[in-house]
Structure 1
């Protein structure tokens, strides 16, 4: 597979490009970077040092990947951005590397980061995560597999977004957003199950019914949180068990239900 590098692109001697990489006009690839097989680096994109791209990633125009963290304690030490395979990062996307020595910002496989979205330092995005236009993910955030973050959502540092969650547009996320649940608003509130996402992911109907019962127990039964969790412990559904575990492991608290 032949590579294609535009004559105006600037590629440092220490950059390592695999076969079939395409680099557009005026793109910049710095020292100590790895660009996997079949990647496309579009015009004016910048791949900063210590960035590792797996195969078949598309980096859009004017994206900046691997920039230094926006963190006052950062002292210029080596840290990294590691991106899996088959991701699309569109125009103007920014991803910052870890904020301490050896720290890594990670993006999994098959993610779609739309124009103008931002992933802060020390974050971890699972596989097939979608960030819509202008979504802002602050430092140390974890986003679970197949979560959908709508346009201009702002996620506070250290928050977690659960697997197959959906965050509605313009939401302000300052606590952990539950897996399998639609969370929206400012302040954010749980609004119901992400039924479309669950069905698209092939979740069995039996587990969806169990999650519906769990949601009613958590937010509509009038029980205190610990009472609701104790009642849910009796469920045999692995997805309900995952939901309970996510809540019990929360350090910032969870977004609660509301109208």
Structure 2
């Protein structure tokens, strides 16, 4: 372990084979797992729990107090899983009394200058593009790709296996398996390339296309569309994920493309 020009606070638990770069500060009540690499000028604040085999690059600030006027100094956490790459100048805030923690899963890439607000939940195998701004209490499900310079409204939910184009303004929920683009943000098709890479068969991809055709392209009331899908398609994990996601959406989902 390299501890040159490093400040480490009380109650810090550092695992085996951890590299800590010059001029990095690790405050109190922090846990860092084995084989994690931390670059120069990183700031890791109270309440951080960082897993093993992570890379945290220069200038990142992890566990900052929430940028939420309701925050009153309560004890909260930032939990980061294993095998994450957190690039330069990323900022991730810890939780508030609402959920008590911000959660980052495993095998995520969070690109430079991204911000993840308080009480967010990021799943596994996600890519958060450069300078993505994520407000508080956003949920990003597994295998999601959010391209650079996108802004995400608080409480939004982005479904698994979806892809969002760069410079998007996300103010509605994005159902699973789709591509979202244009302004206002709209459904523009399935995330076919991503689904193929993750082993989805062409039969399943065609089924998902048929489901979303009913939702976005046949101009039906959403409730009627979901009931029709339930009647016409055999029960499957993917079908039920879509139905449950849309029925449980509190912000409502994005619209279909106008062209």
- Same-fold call, TM > 0.5? yes
Relative to the length of structure 1, the TM-score reads 0.96
Residue in 1 that maps onto 2:43? 46
Unaligned runs of 5+ in 2: none
Pairwise mapping of residues 159-198 of structure 1 onto structure 2 (< 5 A)? 159-198=156-195
**What's the CA shift for 1:7?**
1.0
Cα deviation digits, residues 29-78 of structure 1 (max 9, x gap): 11100000011110000111100001111111000000000000111111
Residue in 2 that maps onto 1:121? 118
Residue in 1 that maps onto 2:141? 144
Rounded to whole Å, the distance in 1 between the matches of 2:192 and 2:2 is: 44
Q: Is structure 2 residue 10 aligned with structure 1 residue 13? A: yes
**What's the CA shift for 1:204?**
2.2
Residue in 1 that maps onto 2:254? 255
**What's the CA shift for 1:239?**
0.9
The answer (yes or no) to whether the contact 1:46–1:65 under 8 Å persists in 2 is yes
**What's the CA shift for 1:185?**
2.6
The answer (yes or no) to whether the contact 1:177–1:255 under 8 Å persists in 2 is yes
Q: Is structure 2 residue 57 aligned with structure 1 residue 60? A: yes
The answer (yes or no) to whether the contact 1:45–1:61 under 8 Å persists in 2 is yes
Rounded to whole Å, the distance in 2 between the matches of 1:205 and 1:80 is: 42
Cα deviation digits, residues 221-255 of structure 1 (max 9, x gap): 12221121111103123212211110000010000
Rounded to whole Å, the distance in 1 between the matches of 2:207 and 2:73 is: 49
The answer (yes or no) to whether the contact 1:147–1:163 under 8 Å persists in 2 is yes
User: RMSD over aligned Cα, in angstroms?
Assistant: 1.1
Relative to the length of structure 2, the TM-score reads 0.96
Could you list the runs of 4 or more consecutive aligned residues of structure 1 that deviate by over 2 angstroms after TM superposition? none
Unaligned runs of 5+ in 1: none
Q: 1:240 to 1:57 in 2, by over 3 A?
A: same
Rounded to whole Å, the distance in 2 between the matches of 1:101 and 1:233 is: 34
